[in-house]
Every structure is written in structure tokens, then in C-alpha cells.
Amino acid sequence: MEKVKIYDTTLRDGMQAEGVSFSLQDKLAIAAKLDEIGVDYIEGGYAVSNPKEMQFFKDAAKAGLKRAKIVGFGNTRRRGVKAEEDTSLAAILESGAPAAALVGKTWDMHVTEVLRVSLEENLAMVAESIEYLKKKGLEVIFDAEHFYDGFKENPAYALKVLETAANAGADSLALCDTNGGSLPEQIFDITSQVRKATGSVMLGIHVHNDSDNATANSLASVRAGARMVQGTINGLGERCGNANLCTIIPNLTYKMGYATLDNDKIKGLTDLSRFIFEIANLSPIMNMPYVGESAFAHKAGLHVDALRKNRKTYEHMDPEAVGNSRRFLISELSGASNVLAKLEGTKIAENKELAKKLLSQVQDLENEGYQFEAAEASFDLLVKKALGTYKPAFELIKYHVNVERNGEGRMVTEATVKLKVDGVVEHVVSEGDGPVNALDGALRKSLDRFYPIIKDMHLIDYKVRVVNAKAATAAKVRVVIESKDENGLWGTVGVSENVIDASWKALVDSVEYKILKG
């Protein structure tokens, strides 16, 4: 298998995504994860931009990374300044990074209208900057900014810049589709021409996703001869984002037959994707190929029936190869096959009568407003109830929630829960930031001495949806709660005309599921 190097720029280009900001500790944690999964390069940031970026390089050098090479990003020297006196080049050297990514202009319009230098001066800026860093012992990756657009306008000059960079000693040339507007056939054709013109120097690709072609363009460049792909985890990046390594890596490996990461490391892609979403405080993209929660989720009854007979019928690959898992969704659109599929691995997997009974219950509950696609823990409890194996963890006597504003204008929420566990009555009060928080606190206080295991779980998401909006303020609401412990996530659902009662039902399911699963 021929090797394609993976170059991650989440810590630099990914941070340019709207709403994304990583602290120093965030960046170090991400770098550790990237090194663990086995990427070849980690672009740490723009060294000259601010003290945090510089500190990252200093700390990363002490972090004991085993595989990845840290890359410092910067510009070619400024006009009228010697390379040895340029602040950007000096910052790269100060960072201590063993490799540098130097961005230079290849589009003549940018040279004359943005840099406002002659075409020859730009060539000198490229050559002198690369030569200077090479003399200092660094690996140099030349990022040919706006290359594809520049080639379309003036191919001779764009190629001249690459030739200059290669002659100055650049170890690789990364061709950039900076505006993200090129199409795969254009990328393939131009990269093929560059491959013929530049000889043996390694070509890379760096594309943005403004035309929704970043993945296809990256793969097209590899077909044309590129052997280094730059991108970010989850495609984070400015405007519409960058090329998504979570999609590119398995495509290169499993579809095109190139060596990227070790196969056992590729199994960590799904966890890495979710880690980056969490640390960036972004909601995961459910339908992201390969690593999204819905990537291998099946809802249609006919599909599920076929999958149970042969996994290849509706899946293009084994989800476990990227660390994901197959999911069978339960809804009013389901057939008995979906229910049976959910029960696979149990002694009752072929109990068609039970499947019909459960399907009927699901359809009745969904008519009331329930939805189990994001609430598989509630469905598991439903199965136990249908089997007669369900034993409630407690008996509710009553609960009460009081919300008031005190004289200082502060909202005070108080929840009282009275319940019975094994004949013992617990009656507790808890304050919270809102009704659900207060109820959650009171329920936990009532149960934690009987079931200390619930101290390990945390409520991490809470969603409310009006079910029948035409009923206005009398409408039913559906509450979905997502909970987490060190072993995983689970969702539960509750429906009622009263949002607090719906929340209570979802909270109870969440706690009981945790108690039952241990």
C-alpha cells in the first residue's frame, strides 16, 4: 500500500471556524489525541500571532508525542525585509517546531493587488524564506495559497512559484484551493499537470469546502499524484470549513487502498470526532459520513430486515472499522424486523409475538408524542416491562416544584420529592437553577444512599419539543434527556401536557436505566 501522509490543521485552520476557540490546555489535549491516532503532522498554529500560540509549541515539545511532527505556520518574508530579520520566520524558529508550513502567493492577482510587489519580488520572497529555514535544519512545507485559482488565470506563473519553492529546498508543495470553489475534475487535471512539471518533489493538497467538494477534491488530488492531504477533524474551518479528515482517511484507506493510519488506529476516528466536537462546545453532526451517530443508523423496516440477513445489503462497510456502531431505530415507521434487530443477542431475539406487541406499544406511544430514536434507554425499559422483568427502583409518593422570585429579584426554584425504596420513605428538598435541575437534585438525594452508583452519572443535554403546536399553551411537550457516565451515553424521553411532568418521566427513566445497567 502506497503511503499518503496525513497533515492535521485543526489547531490552526480549524480554529478559524466561527464560534470555535481552543484554550492552551484544549490545544495540548487535542494534540495528544491526534498523536495517539497516528497523524503524521500537527500544525500547531500561527507562531507569531499571540503568546498562547507560542506557548503551545513550547509545551508540546515537552508532551512526549510519539509519532506526529509539530509544524509551525507562518508567511514568507515581507517585502523589503531580509529573511533573517522577518518576524514571522523568527517566530517559527523560536517555536522550536521541527517543521514549518510557509504560505506564499501563487496567484498573480494576489501578488500585485494584495502584496503589492512585482512578480519577481514574490519569487525572491518565496525562495529566500525557504532557503533560510532549510539552513536552520527545518523541514519546509510550502503552502501554495490560491494555487488552483492562480493556475486557472496564469498557469505559467503559478508553476514558476512552485519551481522556485522546490529549487529553494522545499520538502513538499501543498497546492491550496483556498477559496474552495474548484471541482474534482479541475483539481485532478491541474494536479496531474503539476505532477508532470515538478518531478519527484512531494505534492500535498489543502482545500476548503465552499462548494461542498473538499473531500472529493482531496481524493482527486491523490489520484493525480498528491501524497500528503491536509485537513481538519470534523471539517472545522473558516467559512464552510476545511477538508474533513474523518471522511478522507477511511476513503483513502478502505476505498482507494492507500496507507494512512494504522487500521487499529482508524478505529479511534469516531471517538476523536466526538472529542473534538465536545471540546469545541459544538453539537455533533449526526449524519456525518463514517463517524456520525446516524452514519450506520437504520429506520426503514425493509432495510432492517435485509440487514439482519446480510450486513452488506444496506451498509457500505463495517462500522466498527472506524469505531462506530450499527443502530436500529424504533419509530412508527418501523416494522417487526426493527424490534427483533434491537433484541439481537438476547434469548428473545426471535420472539415474533413479543416483537409485534412491542411494535404496537411503540406506535401507540408515538401517537401520544413519544419518540424513541434518541431515547434508546427508554426503549430498553419498555422491553423489560413487556417481558415482565422490570422492577421499579422506587415508588413515587409525590413530588412538588415551587418557583418564586425573592425580594432581591433572584429566582429561587425548590423541588420536593417523596418516595419509597424497599419500604423506606425518603422525603427530601433540593434547590436548583431551574425546575429540572432542582427535580434532578431531589431525586438523586432521595436515592443515592440506596443506589450509590447514580453518583457516577451526569445529565449533559436537555431538549424540549412541542408535539401538537396547534393546541398552543395546552400542547403536549416531549422532553429528551441525554445522560452520561464513564462508560457511555444514553437518552430517555417523557411526554406530557406539563413540561415538568415530562421532564420527571425522562429523569426517572434515565436514573432507572443507570441502576439497571450498573
Give pLDDT tens digits for 429-439: 999 888 889 99
Map 253-287 to HEC letters: HHHCCCECCCHHHHCCHHHHHHHHHHHCCCCCCCC
| 271 and 408, same domain (yes or no) | no
Query: 309 and 178 in one domain?
Result: no
Low-confidence winner among 70-74, 307-311, 322-326, 353-357 (lowest mean pLDDT) = 307-311
Among residues 251, 279, 307, which one ends one of the domains?
A: 279
Report pLDDT for 473: 57
- Confidence category of residue 354, pLDDT binned at 50, 70, 90: confident
Nearest partner of 294 among 335, 325, 332, judged by Cα: 325
Whether 292 maps to a domain, the answer reads no
Q: Judge whether 455 lies within some domain.
A: yes
Whether residue 435 sits in one domain with residue 464: yes
Q: Are residues 273 and 303 in the same domain?
A: no
Whether the Cβ atoms of residue 102 and residue 141 lie closer than 8 Å to each other: yes
**Do 100 and 72 touch, CB atoms closer than 8 A?**
yes
Contact 144, 165 (CB under 8 A): yes
Tally of structural domains, the chain: 3
Element (H, E) at 425: strand 424-432
Q: Is residue 377 part of a domain?
A: no
Helix ranges, 199-250 (H): 214-223, 245-250
Counts for the chain of helices (H) and strands (E), in that order: 18, 16
Does 343 map to a domain?
A: yes
- Note whether 362 and 226 are same-domain residues: no
Q: Which residues lie across from 491 on neighbouring strands?
A: 482
357's enclosing H/E stretch is helix 352-368
Q: Is the pLDDT of residue 347 over 70?
A: no
Q: Quick one: CA torsion of 152, 157, 163, 169, rounded to 10 degrees?
A: -100
Contact predicate 158/111, CB 8 Å = no
Backbone angles phi, psi at 327, to 5 degrees: -130, 135
Residue from 186, 235, 191 nearest 209 by CA: 235
pLDDT mean over 159-167: 98
Q: Are residues 313 and 273 in the same domain?
A: no
Q: Are residue 269 and residue 310 in the same domain, yes or no?
A: no
Report how far residue 480's alpha carbon sits from residue 326's, in angstroms, rounded to the nearest whole number: 21
Q: Which residues contact 265 (CB under 8 A, 6 or more apart)?
A: 36, 37, 38
Based on the fold, state whether residues 185 and 227 are members of the same structural domain.
yes
Whether residue 269 is found in the same domain as residue 351? no
Q: What pLDDT, on a 0 to 100 scale, did the predictor assign at position 15?
A: 94
* Residue 499 sits in the same domain as residue 428: yes
Domain coverage including residue 443:
395-517
pTM above 0.75, yes or no: no
E runs forming strands in 106-171: 139-145
- Tell me the CA distances in angstroms from 427 to 393, 403, 419, 445, 503, one per residue in order: 16, 19, 7, 9, 20
User: Measured between alpha carbons, how far is residue 50 from residues 18, 26, 283 in Å?
Assistant: 19, 16, 28
- Is position 445 within any domain? yes
Q: Which of 350, 368, 386 is the last residue of a domain?
A: 368
215-236 average pLDDT score:
98
Q: What distance in Å separates the CA atoms of residue 386 and residue 354, rounded to the nearest whole number? A: 8
Give the closest residue to 8 by CA, choosing from 221, 236, 312: 236
Q: Is residue 27 part of a domain?
A: yes
Residue 165 has pLDDT above 90, yes or no: yes
For residue 375, is it within any domain? no
Please indicate, yes or no, whether residues 151 and 224 belong to a single structural domain of this protein.
yes
Average pLDDT over residues 292-316: 73
Q: Looking at residue 444, which CATH number applies to its domain?
A: 3.30.160.270
Instruction: Pick the closest to residue 250 from 237, 267, 235 (CA basis).
Output: 267
Tell me the pLDDT of the chain averaged across its residues.
89
Whether 77 is covered by a domain: the verdict is yes
Confidence tier at 344 by pLDDT (50, 70, 90) = low
Percentage of residues in the chain with pLDDT exceeding 70?
91
Residue at which a domain ends, from 332, 349, 368: 368
Query: Does one domain contain both 243 and 135?
Result: yes
d(CA 77, CA 117): 12
